[in-house]
Amino acid sequence: MRNYVVAGAAALILGTTMTPVFAGPFWVMGKVVKECYYQGVYEKDAVQVQCGSNSVDYGDDNKQILKQKQKAFVWYVYEGQTLQVQLGTNDVDDGDDNTQIIDQQQFMVGSPSSDNVQQMQVGKNDVEDGDDNFQKIEQSQGLITFGPS
Amino acid sequence: MRGRLIVLGAAVLALGAPPAQAGPLWPVIQLCFLSAQSTQCAFQIARGDRNTAFTRQHTEQTGHQFALTYQRGDDNWSSTSQDGTDQIAATVQVGNGNAASTYQEGEEQFSATVQLGDGHWAGTSSIGEDTATFVFQSN
C-alpha cells in the first residue's frame, strides 16, 4: 500500500510538470502505473519497455498467460524517444475457469528520428464475474526504417 | 485517424457502458492516444457465462490498429482479425447466443457491430482500402 502511495505521489508530481495526456492514464492505472512508471515509460531515453500484469482475485481454475517479445536493432537513438512499449494486463475478478492469453511481439530495425513513441502495443483482457470465458489477444508488429528523416 | 479514435472512444462510453466499466478501461484506452508511429490496441471485456473472444492484430507498417470487444450475457462469441494499418474494429454484444466475426485486411478500415438480444449472428469481411461496415441488430 505504501508503495502505491509513493507511486501515486510521484505520478502526481510528475503530472504537474509533464504533458497532461501522459499524466492522466498513468495516474489511474494502479498496478500498471507503478510497474510501467519505474520501468521507464516516462524516461525519455527509454528504448524498450515491457509491462505485464496478471491478476486473479477471488476465482478458481483460472489460467492467464502473458507473453511479450521485443526486438530492436537501432543504431541511432534521438533524445526524447521511447522506441518500443508493450503493456498487457490480464484481470479476472470473481470468475471461474477463465482463460486469458495476451501474446505481444514487436520488431524494429532502423533509425527512428522523431520524438514520438515508435511502437506501442496495448492489450487488456478483463473478466469480471463470469464463468468459462476464454479470451485471447495476439499482437505483432514489424517496422523497418533506415536513416534519420 | 487519431480523431476517429477519439470519436470511437467517446462513442463507446456514450453507448451505455456503465461507469464501473468505463472507469478502469478508459485510462488504458488513453494509452493508445500517445503519439506513436505504430500502435496496436486491443481490449476485451467479458461479463456473463461462456463468452469467447479472440482478437488478432498484425501489421508491418506504421499506423494504428484498434480493436474493442465488449460482451455481456451468455454464450456469446466474437472474433476480430486485423491485418494492415489504420484499422478500427468495435464489437459490443449484450444478450444471449450472439456471435460476431470481423475481418479487416487493408488500410483505412472501420467496422462496428452492435448486437442486443437473442440469437443474432453477424459476420463482416473487409479487404482493401477506405472501407466501412456497420451492423446493428436489436431484439
Can you give the pLDDT at residue A66?
A: 85
Domain ranges of chain A: 1-42, 44-149
Q: In this structure, are residues A116 and A80 in contact, taking their beta carbons and an 8 Å threshold?
A: no
ipTM of the shown complex: 0.74
- For chain B, positions 47-76, list CB contacts with chain A under 8 A: 47-62
Q: Tell whether B32 lies on the interface with A, counting CB pairs under 8 A.
A: yes
Are B31 and A136 inside 8 Å of each other by CB?
A: no
Tens-digit pLDDT profile for residues B21-47: 334 566 667 667 766 778 899 999 888
Nearest CA in chain A to B67: A123
Q: What would the grid cell of residue A54 be?
A: 496478471
Domain extent, residue B125, equals: 2-138
Find out whether B94 and B73 touch, Cβ atoms under 8 Å: yes
Confidence category of residue A91, pLDDT binned at 50, 70, 90: confident
Q: B40 to chain A: nearest residue by CA?
A: A121
Residue A48: pLDDT above 50?
yes
Is A89's CB within 8 Å of B28's CB? yes
pLDDT in tens, B62-98: 889 999 999 998 888 999 999 999 999 999 999 988 8
State the Cα–Cα distance between residues B55 and A56, nearest whole angstrom. Answer: 21
CB contact under 8 A, B31 and A134: no
The pLDDT assigned to A119 comes to 83
Looking at the structure of chain B, the number of domains it has is 1
Give chain A's contact residues with B (Cβ, < 8 Å).
Answer: 21-22, 24-25, 27-29, 32, 85, 87, 89, 104, 112, 114, 116-143
State whether residue B126 sits within 8 Å of chain A by CB: no
Given a contact cutoff of 8 angstroms between Cβ atoms, the answer to whether B60 and B37 are in contact is no
A33 touches B36 (CB < 8 A): no
More confident of the two residues A75 and B66: B66
Predicted TM-score (pTM) of this structure? 0.74
